[in-house]
Structure formats: C-alpha cells, structure tokens
Structure 1
Amino acid sequence: APAAAQARGHAGNQRLHDRWTRLAAHHKKHTVACVAIARELAGWCWSLATLPDT
C-alpha cells in the first residue's frame, strides 16, 4: 500500500478506537456507539477509496 494510504489508515484506526473509548466512557448505549462508529467508518473507507494514486 502507498505510504499515504498507510498513514491515513493508521490515523483512522486510532481515531475510531479513541471515539469508541470516549463513547463508552460517557456510558452511551452500545447500539448508539456502534452506529456512530459505523458512520465514521463508512466515511473513512470512502476517503481511502478516493485517495489519489501517486
């Protein structure tokens, strides 16, 4: 994988993990947390798919 994709992948993974931890710390319902993470994951996948090839 290109270095830019690897960097964005690592940053996105860290962001999703931090978001999940934050939602759990605020005692959000499991379903609400899952949907929030799924929305962000969809956007993250789209950003990787549209990353220009260099």
Structure 2
Amino acid sequence: MMAGRAGIVLAHGRRPDSASRPHPRHAPAGAGNQRLHHRWEQFTARKKRTVVANVTVARELARWRWSLATIED
C-alpha cells in the first residue's frame, strides 16, 4: 500500500474518487498563491528589504487563510 499526497490511497495505488475531487474551499488557493507571490515580487522589485516583503506577505497570507477557514458551508 502506498501513501500519497491526499493521504488515502487504495491498495492498487489509486485514490478514491472523493479524494481526487478538490473541496470547494480549495478552489481559490492557486489564485491566492499567485497573488501573494506577485505581491512579494513587487516589493523586491521596488528594492524593499526582503524581511519587510516577507512580513507583509506573511500577514496577508494569515488574513487570507483566516478568511478561508471561516467560510461557512
């Protein structure tokens, strides 16, 4: 039996159908990742110190994750 990224893998190496479908809350994850990366690149392009860019993006990431965690089904 093999372990995969989703955690549950059947004996024949495939994930169950429910594990292969993304949860609706995970849909904005890719777009949010790109947005935060772009934000970090903007800071570094403006010659901001990397520690300032990192802290700003980390704060924004924390707020974004909180908003995802508090979405009601």
Of structures 1 and 2, the one with the larger relative CO (CA 8 A, separation 6+) is 1
Which consecutive residues of structure 1, in runs of 5 or more, have no partner in the other structure? none
Out of 7, 30, 43, the residue aligned to residue 10 of structure 1 is: 30
**AA at the equivalent of 1:47:** S
CA distance in structure 1 between the partners assigned to 2:72 and 2:41 by the alignment: 31
Structure 2 equivalent of residue 45 of structure 1:
65
Structure 1 residue runs of 4 or more that deviate by more than 4 Å after TM superposition = none
TM-score computed with the length of structure 1 as normaliser: 0.82
Aligned residues: 52
Structure showing greater Rg: 2
Identity of aligned residues (%): 52
CA distance in structure 2 between the partners assigned to 1:21 and 1:7 by the alignment: 23
**Cα RMSD (Å):** 1.2
CA distance in structure 1 between the partners assigned to 2:72 and 2:28 by the alignment: 12
Which consecutive residues of structure 2, in runs of 5 or more, have no partner in the other structure? 1-21
